[in-house]
Amino acid sequence: MAVAGLVASVGSVVASTSAGLAGSGLATVASAQAADDIPAEGRYVEPVFDEMETTEDIVYGQAVNVDGVTQDLLLDIYEPAGDTIQERPVLLLLHGGSFVFGDHKSDAYGAGPGVARTFVELGYVVVSPQYRLRPDMAPAPHTEPAEMEAAILDAQDDISAALAWLRGHAGEHRIDPDAIVPFGFSAGGAIAWTLAWMPGADARPDAVDVPAAVSVAGAPLETSVITGEPMAAPTAGDAPVLAYHGDADGVVPYEYAAGPCGRAAAAGVRCDLITFEGVGHPAVDPAFVPLLTAEVDVTLSFLAEEVLVPLGFIDVPAPEDPPRSTTTTVPITNQTTVPAGGAVSPVARPATPVVGVPDYTG
């Protein structure tokens, strides 16, 4: 697996959010597909494309910003050059920056072409959308909770509009409208988590469903600080989340991710928390990104189990002697602890990532 590009491109992810509620405990999860049954080579786990095509500055919507000005909302699309598949999975890159600053075009905020290329080479389409910011708001961890809530809801509305636009233009861009996965850094991670767990909440009754989400140093806003009502709290049927977090994070405290993951277990929702021991926030701790890169296979396996296999992107061979029972659930621990500066030492994780069998060129 060639993942060096992720280290070089993510660089210093300047992103943060103080959203979330303190808590403790970790969920146990059920493996969606036995790792031994998943192919170990090919599309979606190994680079199969050498070149990337970029379409920039597509207007996907408009919104009134915090200054009362209507602004265009833009997105960029990165895709494998020469790919011929008609329906492809999408990673929706969501940049960080405390909802105060940040840029959907910049690798430094986790959503530029360098970050996209790592996944485009595997066969994914990557989309990086803009969302409304609040330049006069104090960055986390100094943000007023009500301001942070308003910023998160603005961003959730914007990215929901981006999702709706992508689904409406799925044929034009040759993407599968049901296989769009938000993947965010810090503030972007908070948005990804909110997209996964907001559907059904009174705050946004028409929230758009996603099949899964990946958060890097982000956290969900489980309960409204204004009304006290549930917002992105885990409830039965919510999308699974894979979260990476340092337990020494001074910007988005570790318990803001660990608590929701623990509560997800009681709701029957998959939430895998990968803990980087002794590591802080990506914006301030250079140890974070190399450890994240070392865990790329975990990300790819998660995406395969929750999205690619269920939607038929990857064919998994049936066993020679199928068991008489129709379902088997095998609980596994969901936490991987990574010593500071050390090698990845998983407690339990899929043995091999997943791959695609569809025809492709490139």
Query: Residue 126 — φ and ψ, nearest 5°?
Result: -120, 130
Tokens of 38: 């998943």
* Contact status, residue 62 vs residue 72, Cβ threshold 8 Å: yes
Kindly state the average pLDDT of the residues 56-66: 96
Q: 199 or 22: which carries more pLDDT confidence? A: 199
Question: Which structure tokens are listed for 55?
Answer: 């379409």
State the pLDDT at residue 335.
Answer: 45
Report whether 313 contacts 285 (CB < 8 A).
no
Q: Is 161's pLDDT higher than 80?
A: yes
Q: Which of 131, 108, 118, 132 is nearest to 78 (CA)?
A: 118
**What per-residue confidence (pLDDT) applies to 27?**
30
- Spatial neighbors of 296 by CB under 8 A, at least 6 apart, are 1, 3, 6, 118
Looking at 57-71, 106-120, 248-262, 337-351, which range is the least confident one?
337-351
Q: What is the pLDDT of residue 39?
A: 56
Region of poorest pLDDT, from 22-26, 180-184, 214-218, 331-335 = 22-26
Assess whether pLDDT exceeds 70 at residue 339. no
pLDDT at 45: 84
Chain-centre distance for alpha carbon 220: 12
For residue 318, what pLDDT is reported?
Answer: 53
pLDDT surpasses 90 at 75: yes
pLDDT at 140: 77
Average pLDDT on 147-173 reads 95
CA dihedral 46, 103, 289, 5 (to 10 degrees): 30
With beta carbons less than 8 A apart as the criterion, state whether 233 and 264 touch: no
Q: What is the mean pLDDT of residues 337-342?
A: 41
Report the alpha-carbon distance of residue 247 to residue 274 in Å, rounded.
Answer: 10
Region of poorest pLDDT, from 7-11, 40-44, 240-244: 7-11
pLDDT exceeds 80 at position 235: yes
Task: Calculate the dihedral angle through the C-alpha atoms of 263, 267, 272, 278, rounding to the nearest 10 degrees.
Answer: 0
pLDDT value of residue 38: 52
Of 100, 98, 136, residue with least CA distance to 19: 98
Residue 358 has pLDDT above 70, yes or no: no
> Is residue 321 over pLDDT 80?
no
Residue 202 gets the label, from left (phi > 0), alpha (psi -120 to 50) or beta, of: alpha
For the segment 179-199, the average pLDDT, to the nearest whole number, is 96
- The residue behind tokens 């200054």 is 67
How would residue 141 be classed by pLDDT, with cut points 50, 70 and 90? confident
Mean pLDDT, the chain, whole residue set: 80
Question: Which DSSP category does 62 fall into?
Answer: E
Which one is predicted more confidently, 331 or 71? 71
Q: Which residue has the tokens 């850094």?
A: 185
State which CATH number among 3.30.2320.20, 3.40.50.1820, 3.20.80.10, 3.40.190.10 fits the domain covering 4-318+329-338.
Answer: 3.40.50.1820
Nearest to 313 by CA among 74, 45, 17, 114: 45
Inform me whether the pLDDT recorded for 127 exceeds 60.
Answer: yes
Average pLDDT over residues 277-294: 93
Say whether pLDDT at 104 is over 80: yes
pLDDT tops 70 at residue 362 = no
Q: Rounded to whole angstroms, what are the CA distances from 172 to 41, 88, 115, 274, 316? A: 29, 12, 24, 36, 29
Higher pLDDT, 260 or 13: 260
Length of the chain: 362
pLDDT (0 to 100) of residue 316:
66
Task: Count the Cβ atoms, other than its own, within 10 Å of residue 73.
Answer: 21
Instruction: Report the alpha-carbon distance of residue 76 to residue 167 in Å, rounded.
Output: 15
Identify the H or E element spanning 292. Answer: helix 288-294
